[in-house]
Structure 1
Amino acid sequence: MSDTDDSTGEPESRPRPRRGSRDDISAQLKFRRAEIERQVRATRAQFDEANSRIEERAGRNLVKATLIGLGLGLVMLFSLIVVKEIFVLFGAAVVAFTVFELVHAFRQAGRAVDVWPAVVSSVAIVASGYFLDPAARWSVLVGAIVFIAAWRLVAQMAHPAPRRKLDVVRDLAAAVFVQVYVSFLASFAMTLVRQPEGEWWALAFLIIVIAVDIGAYASGLNFGKHPMAPLISPKKTWEGFAGAALAAVVAGILLSVFMLNNTWWVGLILGLALLGTATMGDLTESLIKRDLGIKDMSSWLPGHGGFLDRLDSILPSAPIAFGLFLLFSGAPIAG
């Protein structure tokens, strides 16, 4: 049948659903759902566009970086407060992965550094920072270096293609550097955790270093115009450093007063000292990556790069934090 009236030829009028009828409610629900889906798609597109701009400017995926940072932070917080030995296990695992990726970076750059001797030695050095006294810890470091050097020399003699003496010396220097730069500096954090109330000082120094990183990132992203060290790290700016300084001082004072039960000026010293070590550690790692010709040590931590990209500020800060603990905590020293 036609949709027109037989007598007039006009379109046949169809009854509309009554207001409040089932068809009307269903249509309204469909309209609402379509509107919500449209808004969700538009919001997601805006978020993706904003995140892409941030990633292009800052060189990292903000969402992934935040989620991974929160996850690692929760593990760190739980292990420090609940059972110190869990923190030692967690720290040894992180250092082992860091050494693994740094050794691979050196190998890609042409240095013959042995992977597994370096990883095993790193775990031993880090564990000694918690379980052994200072004299024994130095013995472990020296023993690890001798073990790594002997392994490399034996491997070199057994290799069918001999390397030049200068290359062998550079190989050994790279292997020793990995242990001193990563494993030995990280062991100071374990020594600090071992002390009475040392877990709170360790937590404080880690929070301050994280605050330095966040302050530099946020301030540099929004206000950064003047490069701080363009030949080493072009994206680091003096505006970012100013934001890092503000974050470090505020975090240091608050943590000293409310968590460490100390004075505000101790927090000021703690914040400024760790601002310096964290910044130098960040620039040092940038210099290493620039020398090796890489952007990130690895891609194991999406949004962050590699483990060393997260530990670069922490490693040189650990011995300074331990030294400040000895000066200002007033607690008896263990080991």
Structure 2
Amino acid sequence: MSDPESAGDRPAPKRPHRDFDARARAARTDFELQMRARKAEFDARNEVLTARTGRNLPAAIGVGLLFAGVMLGSLLVWTPAFMAVAAFLIGMGVYELASAMRFSGRDVPRIPSVIAGIAIVPAAFFGGPETALLTLLGGIVLVSIWRLVEVAAARKRPTGAELLLDLTSGLFVQSYVTLLGACVVLLSAERAGALWVVGFIIVVAAVDTGAYATGLTFGKHPMAPRISPKKTWEGFGGSVLASVIAGVLVAWLMLGQGWWFGVILGLLITASGTVGDLTESMIKRDLGIKDISSFLPGHGGLLDRMDSVLPSGAVALMMFLMVH
């Protein structure tokens, strides 16, 4: 016997999976809209920070953490591995500065400059100060002779003044990057020197962080507007406070020194880091460039990140020798 209701009059079966798909698509669309809005808000804030600080802050933080991790890891795990890191950093720093010099018309030979910069690392680590000094002098001679041979073989020769500028620029590259980098390597080779390197890098990081945070928040009075317009006295005050706190902690927990030693360490590294930063700004202003290179996102070049570390390494080595 047939059903009184025809098949066409029966209600269509419900399909719950269609409703679920629709809700899922709506949720995904809403999530994508929220993410786009958050990204737009983040980009807007990042643009404001970039305009105030002159750098991409998230990229700068990420690269800075990676940079510090590689350096500190090589020092704490196996100190000789730091030679490879130091050779890379010094070699790249020399290459960047020599390239910047060439960009401004000062013909500094890059190949011998990099060779001299890398050679100083094993010389300082295994041979000590005397070997490092002889290697530095040999590197300067190599760079100078290389340039003189280039000039002798060139069809169009520079004037005497231009050649003198090339030679003195090559000397400056070695004196600035290679010599100061050798101080860090010499310190790392000393007994317990690895901890001293880690300690002074922590203080340098405190100087940069204190200056950045207070300068960004309270900075109103430029410190050296013609050299570095974004550096303020408020930021300098923050760097002093942060470096003294970090110096006391480093001296007490890592170096086995009294609190007063940490205060002196913090103040001296604040001075050396600030001078290094201003020196780098003067070099770039003299060469007519914004960054030494674009090797690191948000940072410029490696040398832009080592401007405070290089002179501070010489200060740390001096204090180590005074204590020991």
Match of 1:120 in 2: 115
TM-score of the two chains, using structure 2 as the length reference: 0.92
Matched-pair contact (CA < 8 Å) for 2:94–2:173: yes
State whether structure 2 residue 222 is matched by structure 1 residue 196: no
One-letter amino acid of the counterpart of residue 199, structure 2: A
Match of 1:242 in 2: 237
Instruction: Please state whether the residue corresponding to 2:178 is helix, strand or coil.
Output: helix
Match of 1:283 in 2: 278
- The two structures, once aligned, show a CA RMSD in angstroms of 1.9
Number of aligned residue pairs: 314
Give percent identity, aligned residues only: 46
State whether structure 2 residue 198 is matched by structure 1 residue 184: no
Deviation at 1:33, TM superposition (A): 3.2
Deviates more, 1:92-101 or 1:130-139: 130-139
Deviation at 1:54, TM superposition (A): 0.6
Matched-pair contact (CA < 8 Å) for 1:103–1:114: yes
One-letter amino acid of the counterpart of residue 170, structure 2: A
Match of 1:266 in 2: 261
Counterpart selection for 1:136 from 110, 131, 137: 131
- CA displacement, residues 117-149 of structure 1 (integer Å, 9 cap, x when unaligned): 101011112332211122222111111111111
Counterpart selection for 1:77 from 66, 69, 72: 72
Deviation at 1:219, TM superposition (A): 1.4
Deviation at 1:30, TM superposition (A): 3.9
CA distance in 1, matches of 2:95, 2:133: 22
Structure 1: runs of 5+ lacking an equivalent: 1-13, 331-335
Match of 1:223 in 2: 218
Instruction: Please state whether the residue corresponding to 1:177 is helix, strand or coil.
Output: helix
CA distance in 1, matches of 2:132, 2:19: 78
CA distance in 2, matches of 1:75, 1:108: 30
Listed as ranges, the matches of 1:246-325 within 5 Å are 246-325=241-320
Match of 2:5 in 1: none
Instruction: Please state whether the residue corresponding to 1:235 is helix, strand or coil.
Output: strand
Matched-pair contact (CA < 8 Å) for 1:127–1:187: no
- CA displacement, residues 260-298 of structure 1 (integer Å, 9 cap, x when unaligned): 222111111111100000000000010010000000011
CA distance in 2, matches of 1:27, 1:154: 76
CA distance in 2, matches of 1:136, 1:261: 30
Listed as ranges, the matches of 1:155-174 within 5 Å are 155-174=150-169
Listed as ranges, the matches of 1:87-98 within 5 Å are 87-98=82-93
Structure 2: runs of 5+ lacking an equivalent: 1-10
CA distance in 2, matches of 1:137, 1:38: 60
Match of 1:50 in 2: 45
TM-score of the two chains, using structure 1 as the length reference: 0.89
The alpha-carbon distance between structure 1 residues 22 and 113, as it changes in their structure 2 partners (threshold 3 A), is: closer
CA distance in 1, matches of 2:172, 2:217: 36
Counterpart selection for 1:68 from 59, 63, 72: 63
One-letter amino acid of the counterpart of residue 84, structure 1: T
Instruction: Please state whether the residue corresponding to 2:207 is helix, strand or coil.
Output: helix
Instruction: Please state whether the residue corresponding to 1:84 is helix, strand or coil.
Output: coil
Match of 1:11 in 2: none
Matched-pair contact (CA < 8 Å) for 2:251–2:258: yes
Match of 1:7 in 2: none
CA distance in 1, matches of 2:150, 2:20: 79
